[in-house]
Amino acid sequence: MASREQRPYDDRERPLFTVGQVAEMLDVQHAFLRRLDQQELVSPARSDGYQRRYSMADVDRVSEICSLVGEGLTLAGVRRVMELQADVAALRAQVAALRARLPATSPT
């Protein structure tokens, strides 16, 4: 099967969505999205007119933040959870890299 040409909306990092669209998709207030930007929890791209533009990856991150807030975390708590998640991901990558450098051992 031939690979299809990648479309702009296939790129999860491409900033396509406005504040209004994201607010509607996730049923959140515009002010909440602005607050996440101010707190640097989600940093959407900016258009030429300096309007926020969210990628699908940004939308997913906002959704994750909404879930954590729904569980009772403050934005400071959300920030710490996300920092720890990033730390764990980095450590897992280091472990995988180290394991890849080990010589193969046969089971005994």
Query: Strand locations in the chain, DSSP E?
Result: 45-46, 52-53
Q: Which one, of 76, 73, 58, lies nearest residue 19 by Cα?
A: 58
pLDDT tens track for 33-48:
999 999 999 999 999 9
Cα–Cα nearest to 59, from 76, 44, 75: 44
Query: Which pLDDT tens digit goes with each residue over 49-59?
Result: 999 999 999 99
- Kindly report the CATH class assigned to 10-101: mainly alpha
Helix (H) or strand (E) holding 60, with range, is helix 56-70
SS3 13: coil
Exposure on the CB side of residue 18, measured as CA atoms within 13 A: 6
Instruction: Parse the chain into domains and list their residue ranges.
Output: 10-101
